[in-house]
């Protein structure tokens, strides 16, 4: 499923984000930029040690922020490390909006044409997937409307598993029907 906003395609896909051939994939990162489990572990395994070395040079990133490294051995040329909220954070929703906007802005600053997001913070961080879908999709659409000259021509939400895909599809349909 996909929609077009200004000149940017927003697409949903189900699968392994580390397999995508895009300018950048987004890593659901922790504030210490240590590639642990989940999406980060898959990036570490497929991308090789150079990504962690670059993360170590950066050091830390605040919750709601993002940092960029090379893509190592991945098909993607870059990894945007997006530090999302924990589900129990008092301001988790605001941080989800911030991390999504920060990732898009970082892609724009680097002139990237395509990027792929996972469902940030919905694994070990425990953020509810329905809220993740609502805020990530809504923030992305707002960003694309507010920035019609963005360099980003393709935004993919690459969801791991049919259940996650279905939640994002339902939220995208709700948003597009309301427009």
pLDDT score at 89:
87
Domain boundaries, the chain: 2-178
In terms of phi and psi (left: phi > 0; alpha: psi -120 to 50; beta: otherwise), the region of 61 is: beta
pLDDT score at 88:
87
CATH number of 2-178: 3.40.220.10
pLDDT score at 176:
79
Sort 84 into a burial class: Cβ within 10 Å, 0-12 / 13-18 / 19+: buried
Q: Give the span between the Cα atoms of 123 and 114, in whole angstroms.
A: 24
pLDDT score at 124:
87
pLDDT score at 178:
63
| Count of alpha carbons within 13 angstroms of residue 65, beta-carbon side | 10
Contact 168, 133 (CB under 8 A): yes
pLDDT score at 179:
58
pLDDT score at 63:
94
For the chain (179 residues), the mean pLDDT of every run of 10, in chain order, is: 93 96 96 91 94 97 97 98 92 97 98 97 93 97 96 97 96 81
Q: Note the pTM of the prediction, 2 decimals.
A: 0.95
């Amino acid at each position: 499923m996909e929609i077009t906003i200004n000149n940017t395609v927003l697409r949903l896909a189900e699968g392994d984000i580390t397999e995508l051939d895009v300018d950048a994939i987004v890593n659901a990162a922790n504030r210490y930029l240590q590639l642990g489990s989940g999406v980060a572990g898959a990036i570490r395994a497929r991308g090789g040690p150079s990504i962690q070395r670059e993360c170590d040079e950066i050091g830390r990133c605040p919750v709601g922020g993002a940092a960029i490294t090379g893509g190592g051995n991945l098909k993607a040329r870059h990894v945007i490390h997006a530090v999302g909220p924990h589900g129990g954070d008092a301001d988790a929703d605001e941080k989800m909006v911030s991390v999504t906007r920060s990732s898009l802005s970082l892609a724009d600053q680097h002139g990237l044409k395509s990027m792929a997001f996972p469902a940030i913070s919905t694994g070990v961080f425990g953020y509810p997937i329905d809220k993740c879908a609502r805020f990530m999709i809504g923030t992305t659409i707002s960003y694309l409307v507010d920035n019609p000259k963005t360099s980003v021509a393709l935004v993919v939400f690459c969801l791991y598993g049919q259940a996650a895909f279905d939640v994002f599809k339902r939220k995208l349909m709700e948003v597009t029907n309301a427009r």
